[in-house]
Amino acid sequence: MAGAILSLGLTGQALSAGGGGGGGGEMPSMSAPTYDPAAEYAKGVAAMNAQDYKAAARAFDHVTQVAPTSLEAWRLLGAAYAASGDQKRARRAYERAVKLSPDDIASHQGLGQALAGLKDPKAQGELDWLKARATACGTCVDAAALKAAIDAVQSAMAPAPAPAAALTGGPMLFAGPAAGDAAYVQAVSLINQHRYDDALAALGQARQAFGPHPDILTYQGYAWRKKGAFDRAETYYRQALAIAPEHRGATEYYGELKVERGDMAGARAMLARLDHICAYGCAEAEELRRWIDVGHEPRS
């Protein structure tokens, strides 16, 4: 990648939403609405803050339809269902979150609470998992989160548990777009400093605000790639391109990853896609072309 990475500016940026109106001659399955996951995620967050949990569940459900590997969306979908009193759907959402990220503390907490709400004895298994993690953790950075999760699940399992709305931990208060943008800009700066672990932490904060935004996913892929975790990086590039197939940054970086793996045919396919997207040329296509020409990262 040549030069410094620039902020792409998340606030106000929307992905194109498809879906045709009636009478267009398409089959119904081809004209179903295509949701903008970042916009739907923002709607869900706003609805959670307003304690309109049914609206929040609808919005987060839309996110999971478009971005089925979004941990944040599944976790918040579970929280919305739990707060509205639908513990069965909450359980299913949290089960998906746990499957996506088996070590995610908040997902295990939510699943344990939902199971407890259903009087399902499997709640004890989630509590045992959290306690085992806490024992192994000791005074690690997750110690406070684990203690809070254990207390929450134990409270839900009590003979007289708290009302359903309390299973989310009270009113949901999320950082707004300004805080998300700040975390994103910080991540970009950290990437430019080659501080990839710190950048990933900041990108995680940005995702809490914006959900599965392709710009954030692209930089998560970039940071993991620079750490040498090529398989993990690829998952983020693929997620970004599934949401925004013509995302130039994700296409370029995915092509660069293929060069690093020695998959020159795959890299050329990414370049062909960029040449199609950029009818009059673009920096991303030229940068990937340089990578392909030299077979590795070009020297500046």
Residue 49 identity (one-letter amino acid): N
Same domain, 153 and 191: no
Q: Are residues 155 and 261 in the same domain?
A: no
Q: What is the pLDDT of residue 294?
A: 86
Write down the pLDDT at residue 54: 95
The structural domain count of the chain equals 2
* pLDDT at residue number 299: 53
Report long-range pairs for 169-174 (Cβ below 8 Å, ≥24 apart): 171/49, 171/51, 172/45, 172/48, 172/49, 172/51, 172/56, 172/79, 172/83, 173/49, 174/45, 174/48, 174/49, 174/208, 174/209
The whole-number pLDDT of residue 163 equals 56
Same domain, 162 and 41: yes
Is 222 inside a domain boundary? yes
> Does residue 63 sit in the same domain as residue 42?
yes
In the DSSP assignment, the letter for residue 86 is -
If asked whether residues 154 and 194 sit together in one domain, one would say: no
The pLDDT of residue 186:
94
The whole-number pLDDT of residue 241 equals 92
pTM of the complete model: 0.73
**Is 12 part of any domain?**
no
What whole-number distance in Å separates Cα of residue 154 and Cα of residue 166? 13
| Residues of the chain falling short of pLDDT 50 | 1-9, 11-31, 165-172
CATH number of domain containing 45: 1.25.40.10
Task: Note whether 287 and 204 are same-domain residues.
Answer: yes
The Cα 189–Cα 5 span in angstroms is 8
pLDDT at residue number 5? 42
Q: Is residue 189 part of a domain?
A: yes
Residues 128 and 211 reside in one and the same domain = no
User: Length of the chain, please?
Assistant: 300
Among residues 104, 135, 168, which one ends one of the domains? 168
Instruction: Check residue 126 and give its pLDDT.
Output: 97
Residue 10 covered by a domain: no
Q: Are 156 and 273 contained in the same domain? A: no
Q: Tell me if 26 is assigned to some domain.
A: no
Distance CA 224, CA 197 (A): 9
Cβ proximity of 94 and 111 under 8 Å: yes
- Note whether residue 7 is domain-resident: no
Report if residue 25 sits inside a domain.
no
Question: Are residues 97 and 147 both part of a single domain?
Answer: yes
- Give me the domain span that covers residue 190: 180-294
Q: What pLDDT score does 243 carry?
A: 87
**Last residue in a domain, options 168, 203, 234:** 168
Tokens standing for residue 144: 């406070």
Whether residue 13 is contained in a domain is answered as no
Burial class of residue 294 in the structure, from the number of CB atoms within 10 Å of its CB (0-12 exposed, 13-18 middle, 19+ buried): exposed
What does the pLDDT read at residue 16?
Answer: 34
